[in-house]
Amino acid sequence: MSGLRIFVFLFLALSACSLPRGAAIDREILRESSSESPTFSVVPVVRANLEEISKWAVTGWAGRYRWLSNRRGPASAIIKTGDLLDLVVWDSQDGSLLTAPGENSTNISGLPVSAAGTVFVPYVGDVLVRGLTETRAREDVQDAIASISPSAQVQLSVTPGHDNIVDMVTGVLTPGRVPLSGRNVTLLSLIAESGGVSSSLQNPLVRLVRGSSTYEIRADELFSNAARNITMRGGDKVIIEEDERYFVALGATGQEEIVYFNREHITTIEALSMLGGLAEDRANLQGILILREYPNNATKPHREHGPDLPQVIFTFDLTNADGLFAARKFRVNPKDTVIATESPIGPARSVMSLVTGLLNIRNKI
């Protein structure tokens, strides 16, 4: 019986290396770094070098979303080129030029605001209205008409043209063209008027196209921060899409998959949490790796601050406070690969479990 136990133990111990593993061991991945001509750099991340690494080039995206500061104007809409004005002129004066015989009012509809900012009023000529509120434009038109009919009174309404319309392109329940009812119409009001953000979007990103510039903000940041709720301008275009930034998770974690960013910035600790943590019986807490690739012009000597080689493996030791605090601040970049390597103890534990099981079975025979 003793000889059988020894045979079984030796057989299993020698075959341990053939047991399947769920992840690589860190020394297998990092082995090349000790060669004479490594093709990648290995950078242990600790609190002491966090500031230096933060000066390296950003990879995978611009590094932050660019958004506008909020600047509000007066509450009333202003008239712009391309708007259409409808006038109702009331005049009780006999023989008025503006009303038909027996009538005390006349409608003048669809007056376009010209490139010069004026509208043509019959018997009066061009009246400048661009840049005015409806109230001020009504007063100016009435003053102009007073030269031919001092008792006339004017009603004025505006139909917004292209310059007073915002395009809700996609990502809402009812996309389309939305006229601005004033100069204080906000982005959130426009989204609400369009039925809200589509529930089919995960991690929605709000993109604003204004003139030749594009701005972006995550929807959750827009909803939670009143200062981000900017005032809209005519001609703005709003596109709401899913945030396409991602990192890849491999190894002894709760998941092995492509993981999309659920906030603007994600730290190493947050990334591991998003993956369901580390596998307790497999993960090597001293072997958390992040693989990242930099452009050639972001390396030394092209830049004062940067890695020595384009391909970099950042390593983390989560068994001490220094490594934990560093992991809490080190940001994962889009297209990074996060790897939790497997502890060398894992295969040995599997072997011993098999040995113990076989011996127990043999003892019962």
pLDDT of residue 149: 86
Question: Strand, coil or helix: what is 153?
Answer: strand
Residues 204 and 288 in one domain: no
Residue 271 scores a pLDDT above 90? yes
Per-residue pLDDT for 357 more than 50?
no
Give the tens place of pLDDT for each residue, 201-218: 999 999 999 999 999 999
Highest mean pLDDT among 143-152, 174-183, 187-196: 187-196
Residue 281 C-beta-side C-alpha neighbours within 13 Å: 7
For 222-244, what is each residue's pLDDT tens digit?
999 999 999 998 889 999 999 99
Confidence of residue 32 (pLDDT cuts 50, 70, 90): low
Last residue of a domain, one of 159, 174, 192: 159
Domain boundary residue among 242, 268, 288?
A: 242
Q: What is the chain's mean pLDDT, rounded? A: 84
Question: Under 8 Å CB-to-CB from 212, ≥6 apart: which residues?
Answer: none
Number of domains present in the structure of the chain: 4
Q: What is the pLDDT of residue 343?
A: 77
Which pLDDT score, from 0 to 100, does residue 365 have? 52
Which residues, in sequence order, are bridge partners of residue 292? 312
Instruction: Quote the pLDDT of residue 73.
Output: 54
Q: Is the pLDDT of residue 193 over 90?
A: yes
75: enclosing H helix or E strand: none
DSSP assignment of 21-38 equals -SS--HHHHHGGGGSSS-
What's the rounded Cα separation, in Å, for the pair 85 and 114? 11
Backbone angles phi and psi of 251, in degrees to 5:
95, -150
Average pLDDT over residues 88-96: 79
Q: At what angle do helices 345-364 and 2-14 cross, to 10 degrees?
A: 150
Residue at 355 is within a domain: yes
Contact 63, 166 (CB under 8 A): no
- Tell me, yes or no, whether 109 and 149 share the same domain: yes
Residue 28 has pLDDT above 80, yes or no: no
Q: Quick check: is 109 in a domain?
A: yes
CATH number for the domain that contains residue 51: 3.10.560.10
Picking from 1-10, 259-268, 292-301, 337-346, which range would have the lowest pLDDT averaged per residue? 1-10
Instruction: Identify whether the C-beta of residue 184 lies closer than 8 Å to the C-beta of residue 242.
Output: no
Q: Is residue 68 part of a domain?
A: no
Q: What is the mean pLDDT of residues 107-117?
A: 92
Nearest-angstrom CA–CA distance, 135 and 132: 8
pLDDT score at 233 = 87
